[in-house]
Amino acid sequence: LEDIIDSLKRGNVFSLIDAMAILQAATVRFAEEESVNYVNAEPGGSVVVVGDLHGQLHDLLFVLKERGMPSDKVKYVFNGDLVDRGNHGCEIALLLCALKLASPRCVFINRGNHEEAFINIYSGFEEECLQKYDHKVFQMFQSCFDWLPYACVVNESVFVIHGGPPCDEGATVDEVRTLPRGAESARVSVDKRRVGWYKELVWSDPHPEATFIGSVPSHRGAGVLWGKDVSERFLQKNKLEVIIRSHQCVAGGVETCHGGKVFTLFSASRYCGTGENKGAILSL
């Protein structure tokens, strides 16, 4: 893996054969996981949460250099939106899949709204795949993305999700854990109550100063804006303390709302090469 990283630093890309082999193996690996992973730091160790990277490989390589490669002492949760907009989505997704295969209990990847085919077609990742590989590889990325879990519970107290929690009053982590993914989605029926949860998990945003109760439709056209009462209810119901989510570029790389119970984490610094934002990670 160190050799792979050195090669990427020199501007090389994964070969077609390696890319296909990694994606095929990673898809199988993700399919073996449930829709929520449980991650605990080892004594003296940490769990590092990384927010949106959006194809900015230099940010990922900086994090790995500063915090170290995945190990029992340094576990990682990557919170979605690996690709699109930046120029190195293929390298990021393939490197993280390779790290997952090498250290499956030390690397966890949540699905974001940019791990969706129709978004990738319009936001740059499909074009990147076609420039570096071919349409078959793009389809293999999509098959892999379809099996990504939705969330992690870290240290039995922190809910890590790309967008937001389900807004249903009785929503539990266990119900998220059993949501179908990948090929299951076509053959496993979901009860009516949970039908819209996927969009909330990957698309929703917190409203920092909501005067409403519950949630309202989002300007994004998918997911919702949710209020402080939703955060408090979900955390209390599931005996958790904090929600870490990503999905929004914030100036300092991390911001809190809802009384310090919700963190928004974004790791792509100087977003798209023109932003003035910092990138951040959280160590738990």
DSSP 95-159: HHHHHHHHSTTTEEE---TTSSHHHHHHHSHHHHHHHHS-HHHHHHHHHHHHT--SEEEETTTEE
182 compared with 74, residue with greater pLDDT = 74
Contact 140, 149 (CB under 8 A): no
Give the tens place of pLDDT for each residue, 130-173.
999 999 999 999 999 999 999 999 999 999 999 999 999 999 99
Q: What average pLDDT does the segment 124-135 reach?
A: 98
pTM of the predicted protein model: 0.96
pLDDT at 234: 98
Give me the number of domains the chain comprises: 1
pLDDT at 186: 64
- What are the distances in angstroms from CA 62 to CA 53, 58, 72, 220? 12, 6, 20, 31
CB neighbour burial string for 96-108, b if at least 16 within 10 angstroms, e if fewer: bbbbbbebeebbb
**Is the predicted pLDDT of residue 210 greater than 80, yes or no?**
no
Give the residue numbers annotated as catalytic, written as ranges.
Answer: 114
**Is the predicted pLDDT of residue 187 greater than 90, yes or no?**
no
Residue 200's CATH number: 3.60.21.10
Per DSSP, what are the bridge partners of residue 281?
50
Domain that residue 68 falls in:
2-283
62 compared with 273, residue with greater pLDDT = 62
> Residue 34 class from Cβ within 10 Å (0-12 exposed, 13-18 middle, 19+ buried)?
middle
